Amino acid sequence: MERRSFLLLSGVLVGMVAIPPSLYFVSPGIKKYAAKLIEKELSYLKLDKEGLNNYINDYFKNASNNVMANVKWKVLYYGRSNSNSSNNVNDLLRYYLLSTDFFLNQMNVEKTVKYLGIFDPYKSPVANPFSYILLPDNQQIT
């Protein structure tokens, strides 16, 4: 092997080993990616930005700050995962909607969705989202 090709090959290999970890440390944390996932998936709703940030903080409050969780959320965002293809994104969106006043406002997409508090089925006053009481008037089943 010639010296020039050896140096070129070793430079490429060092780059392949050094670039992915450096991109991991340079990119933002999982909370930013989770907020972007919610905004992308629920783009048809008017979301309260402050409430969204409060929800993200509450959702990840008990999560450990480990490397695999960070990598998982970054891959979900950059891989363009949606709620149909990922259970993690589906859970994030479901608990966000249950933690807001979206269902209390009869799923009105014109109103701003405000965060009430993290959803807990044993403590939350959030009504059943599938209840006929919460359906708009034109969708009532009689």
83-105 per-position pLDDT tens digit: 677 777 788 888 898 888 887 78
- Closest CA relative to residue 113, chosen from 56, 27, 50: 50
Spatial separation of the C-alpha atoms in residues 125 and 61, rounded to whole Å: 21
pLDDT of 128: 59
Quick check: pTM over 0.85?
no
Percent of residues in the chain assigned helix, strand, coil, to nearest 5: 55, 5, 40
Residue % of the chain over a pLDDT of 90: 13
pLDDT of 122: 79
